[in-house]
Amino acid sequence: MVPRGAVYMDSIAKVKTDVVVIAVHNADPMTVTAYDAGVGTFISGYPSMLVDRLVDADPSAAFTEYTDKKPNFAFADLAITATYDPATDSITVPVAAHFGIALNGDYRLALVITEDSVTGTGSTWNQSNYYSSTSQNLPLVGAGLNWQAQPNPVPASLMEYNHVARDIYGGFTGQAGSLPGTIADGSTQNYTFKISLAGKTWDVNHLEAAVLLINATTGIVHNGVQIPVSMVSRNENLLMGIDNFYIAPNPVKESINLNFNLANATSMKVTVTDLMGKVFTTQSQDMLSAGMNQVSVDASRLSSGVYIVTLETEKGSTSLRFLK
């Protein structure tokens, strides 16, 4: 990636929360070979912005391409949750794909894990900077830096890389068998990715999960959704008497549907906050029954963004993040 790519990816990710943003690296320590090779068949070279694997554009066209492609029919709404369990050192991503069209063919789901705030040491982590005053002296500000004022290359000590593709599970064309060959209009197809982080050096506090709906024959991406990975503690949840806690759909629309299993009947408080801790909703649920429960929370007044919902009982609390 060069600075132009980093700046425009960072900009659109902050403004358009319904965009899936994935930085595929080439010829540096963050390269995922299979992903790099797959993208390379669709672009003329780096830096490039590949939109749905249909359009090879300059990163500076990010907002124009967003406006052009947003009305496209995406075949299915994708709802996901993404949780990291430290007890098993694994991430689980259940997917519910709600199809608005009948399809026949080789359609698949792929899971991409991305990481923010990635850093490293040594010259291979330096960032080439063609905007530096020592070279072309072109203005470019964004992704945390005034690039014109930086040297070429920018030393690794000053660099933080965001949206970094860490792996694509199922491969570049998606997981074989994740969707049936014949899909009925109006049907919901479910699939769950579970991946081990054993041996990975990724920071679980900065991970996001993106699920893509791919035509494996053409490689085209028809839809995608991306949310932060939430951390859960199985031991704490079991002590609370709560397990199998998930939000569906995620991203949410008018309501947040909270699903969870209770070992015993109990009362709880449900709180929705933003990432800075500002409280938007608090509601009490009296004497919920043992077994599976679903609680709905009004989300119609929430703006687009990432939020945290917390379940609190007398024995403790547990939280998940969701996207509106």
248 and 282 assigned to the same domain: yes
Q: What is the pLDDT of residue 1?
A: 54
40 and 77 assigned to the same domain: yes
Domain presence at residue 153: no
121 vs 252 pLDDT, higher one: 121
Q: How far apart are CA 127 and CA 2, in angstroms?
A: 7
Residues 233-260 have a mean pLDDT of 74
Q: What is the pLDDT of residue 135?
A: 80
Q: Which of 210, 228, 246 is the last residue before a domain boundary?
A: 228
- The parent domain of residue 180 ranges over 3-118+161-228
SS3 316: strand
Residues 231-235 have a mean pLDDT of 54
Q: What is the pLDDT of residue 152?
A: 92
182 and 262 assigned to the same domain: no
Domain presence at residue 266: yes
pLDDT higher than 50, residue 67: yes
309 and 267 assigned to the same domain: yes
The two structure tokens encoding residue 223: 């839809």
Domain presence at residue 132: no
Residue 151 CB contacts under 8 Å (≥ 6 apart), including other chains = 129, 132, 134
Q: What is the pLDDT of residues 1-27, one digit of tens each?
A: 578 889 999 999 888 878 999 999 999
pLDDT higher than 50, residue 28: yes
β-strand pairing of 83-85 with 230-231 = parallel
201 and 76 assigned to the same domain: yes
170 and 55 assigned to the same domain: yes
195 and 222 assigned to the same domain: yes
Q: Which of 228, 255, 276 is the last residue before a domain boundary?
A: 228
Is-contact 232 245, C-beta < 8 A?
yes
Domain presence at residue 141: no
Q: What is the pLDDT of residues 159-196, one digit of tens each?
A: 999 999 999 999 999 999 999 999 999 999 999 999 99
Residues 195-214 have a mean pLDDT of 95
Domain count, the chain: 2
71 and 177 assigned to the same domain: yes
Q: Which of 199, 228, 257 is the last residue before a domain boundary?
A: 228
189 and 306 assigned to the same domain: no
304 and 179 assigned to the same domain: no
What's the CATH number where 257 sits? 2.60.40.2550
98 and 81 assigned to the same domain: yes
Q: What is the pLDDT of residues 125-143, one digit of tens each?
A: 999 998 999 887 789 999 8
Using pLDDT thresholds of 50, 70 and 90, give the confidence band for residue 233. Answer: very low
Domain presence at residue 300: yes
What's the CATH number where 95 sits? 2.60.40.10
187 and 309 assigned to the same domain: no
Q: What is the pLDDT of residue 248?
A: 74
Domain presence at residue 126: no
46 vs 174 pLDDT, higher one: 174
Residues 108-127 have a mean pLDDT of 96
Q: What separation, in Å, do the N-terminal and C-terminal C-alpha atoms of the chain show?
A: 29
pLDDT higher than 80, residue 244: no
Report pTM: 0.77
Q: How far apart are CA 296 and CA 288, in angstroms?
A: 13
